[in-house]
């Protein structure tokens, strides 16, 4: 049990709610709890917001055995992006939250993009929305659930909801707001003209959304009854928080031009930039330090290798070794478009996975290799798009997330990219970033300075071995992806 001053970082992901405590003095982790959340399966992917809160409360109660929660001074909150949390006039959640990977709004998004044109969206909000974006979920509700719309008083995003429960304040930040499809991160304002152009006056737009805080802002202090429930003092400050990948970038202390491969259930590749991106071929979202975080997100990453391991009846560690055995042999392998749950980047929400190049002498080792290369190729295609948007990507290359523990993932990325890959020691970069934001609120007041001072160490550097290059893979891979784009009718 420690009596040192503490900060708390919360990470609300799709799969779990993680609460992490760090000492103010040396930023070491002193406690961590992770509570699982109900699993979802696209195209319909929904969770109950009240279960997020219940998981957070349980995590705090479990942490009492390890730390003195009265020593907590500040809390930072991060969460999965894009999900639409609908509240009524009494601030009760009206219906389950449609998550980022819910693709049921694909027809509504297609209609909006066709109506206004992709360039219109890129210039107005920095990105061409996909079914992941909040505006698509809003369009779906307007079209399919008029009773929900009639009760709708406020829209929050997932991390906003936890901040709201903690403080009673409806606050978001630039990073989360920029993934809605109705916020301009250059002017730092909601685009009410765009919303009226899309939907008319079906809702009272000016009062519907949370205020948008800036990187060093505090959202408020923990409510007295919440402090009592969680075992906290009543003067704990809560920062504005941020989106999951954006907060992970803060936790990693990345610089402009650094590339991060986030290898989780979904995959994300991103960099940091001081210049806004409006190319429309990547998500030109904001970061949590006042700049921008151009990124490409794939729906299918470690969930695909988990699936392949189950299919072969092996552990994920055994699948890793099978893939490496084939990879080092230089034998031909099939080409895999890993669109098991459709895809976000590129926007193929209804597609299916496709594997091409099967032969009667294919081994399970070659099959395993194809799975890893297919997942990674999707991220490298996204990196190509970031580069084509005019953003520098010549800094460090970093791997984080569960997949970063896999030798197959990291070695194949290093080879395809032709650059060393740093594997970061910190297993919870997002919660770490939330702790950095909390620490800045009670120390310097400047999150950039704190992030620079608390850069994590490198666990390992994986060097390319020259087995394979992206130039060798790109054309074969994209041709299979082009076919996969036409397979939506095959999904049962």
Which residues are catalytic, by number?
244
Q: Which of 341, 336, 366 is CA-nearest to residue 352?
A: 341
What gap in Å lies between CA 75 and CA 19, rounded to an integer?
10
User: Are the beta carbons of 74 and 441 closer than 8 angstroms?
Assistant: yes
What gap in Å lies between CA 281 and CA 384, rounded to an integer?
10
Structure tokens at 65: 């055995």
Residue 104: partners with Cβ closer than 8 Å, 6 or more residues away: 43, 44, 98, 131, 140
Count of CB atoms situated within 10 Å of the CB of 37: 18
What gap in Å lies between CA 139 and CA 127, rounded to an integer?
17
Residue 453: partners with Cβ closer than 8 Å, 6 or more residues away: none
User: Are the beta carbons of 469 and 327 closer than 8 angstroms?
Assistant: no
Structure tokens at 300: 């299918």
What gap in Å lies between CA 383 and CA 295, rounded to an integer?
8
441-470 in b/e burial notation, b at 16+ Cβ within 10 A? bbeeeebbebbeebebeeeeebebeebbeb
What gap in Å lies between CA 397 and CA 226, rounded to an integer?
41
H helix and E strand count, the chain: 17, 24
Q: Residue 111 — φ and ψ, nearest 5°?
A: -65, -40
H or E element that contains 85: strand 85-87
Q: Which of 341, 337, 387, 335 is CA-nearest to residue 362?
A: 335
What gap in Å lies between CA 139 and CA 122, rounded to an integer?
18
Structure tokens at 380: 């490298």
Please state whether beta strands 211-213 and 171-173 pair in parallel, antiparallel, or not at all (unpaired).
Answer: parallel
* Helix, strand, coil percent content, the chain, rounded in steps of 5: 40, 20, 35
User: Are the beta carbons of 12 and 52 closer than 8 angstroms?
Assistant: yes
User: Are the beta carbons of 220 and 260 closer than 8 angstroms?
Assistant: no
């Amino acid at each position: 049990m420690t009596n040192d001053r503490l900060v708390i970082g919360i990470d609300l992901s799709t799969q779990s709610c993680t609460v992490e405590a760090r000492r103010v003095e040396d930023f070491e982790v002193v406690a961590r709890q992770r509570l699982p959340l109900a699993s979802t399966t696209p195209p319909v992917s929904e969770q109950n917001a009240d279960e997020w809160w219940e998981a957070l409360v349980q995590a705090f109660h479990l942490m009492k055995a390890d730390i003195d929660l009265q020593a907590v001074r500040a809390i930072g909150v991060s969460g999965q992006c894009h999900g639409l949390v609908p509240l009524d006039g009494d601030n009760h959640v009206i219906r389950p939250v449609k998550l980022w990977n819910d693709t049921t709004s694909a027809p509504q998004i297609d209609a909006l993009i066709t109506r206004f044109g992709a360039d219109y969206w890129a210039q107005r909000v920095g990105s061409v929305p996909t079914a992941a974006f909040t505006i698509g979920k809003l369009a779906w509700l307007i079209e399919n659930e008029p009773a929900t719309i009639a009760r709708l008083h406020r829209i929050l995003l997932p991390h906003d909801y936890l901040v709201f429960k903690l403080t009673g304040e409806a606050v978001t930040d630039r990073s989360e707001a920029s993934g809605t499809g109705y916020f301009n991160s250059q002017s730092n304002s909601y685009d009410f003209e765009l919303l009226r152009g899309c939907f008319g006056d079906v809702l009272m737009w000016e009062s519907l959304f949370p205020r948008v805080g800036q990187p060093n802002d505090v959202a408020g202090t923990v409510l007295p009854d919440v402090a009592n429930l969680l075992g906290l003092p009543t003067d704990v400050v809560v920062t504005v928080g941020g989106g999951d990948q954006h907060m992970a970038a803060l936790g990693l202390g990345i610089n402009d031009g650094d590339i991060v491969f986030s290898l989780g259930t979904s995959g994300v590749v991103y960099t940091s930039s001081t210049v806004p991106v409006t190319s429309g071929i990547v998500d030109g979202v904001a970061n949590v330090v006042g700049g921008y975080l151009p990124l490409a997100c794939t729906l299918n990453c470690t969930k695909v290798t988990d699936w392949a391991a189950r299919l072969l009846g092996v552990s994920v560690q055994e699948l890793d070794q099978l893939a490496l055995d084939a990879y080092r042999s230089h034998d031909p392998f099939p080409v895999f478009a890993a669109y098991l749950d459709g895809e976000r980047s590129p926007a193929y929400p209804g597609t299916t996975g496709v594997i091409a190049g099967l032969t009667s002498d294919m081994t399970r080792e070659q099959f395993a290799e194809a799975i890893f290369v297919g997942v990674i190729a999707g991220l490298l295609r996204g990196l190509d798009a970031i580069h084509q948007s005019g953003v520098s990507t010549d800094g460090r290359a970093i791997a984080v997330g569960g997949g970063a523990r896999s030798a197959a993932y990291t070695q194949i990325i290093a080879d395809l990219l032709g650059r060393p890959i740093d594997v970061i020691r910190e297993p919870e970069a997002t919660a770490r970033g939330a702790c950095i934001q909390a620490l800045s609120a009670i120390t310097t007041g400047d999150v950039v300075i704190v992030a620079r001072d608390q850069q994590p160490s490198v666990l390992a550097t994986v060097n390319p071995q020259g087995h394979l290059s992206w130039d060798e893979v790109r054309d074969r891979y994209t041709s299979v992806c082009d076919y996969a784009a036409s397979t939506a009718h095959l999904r049962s």
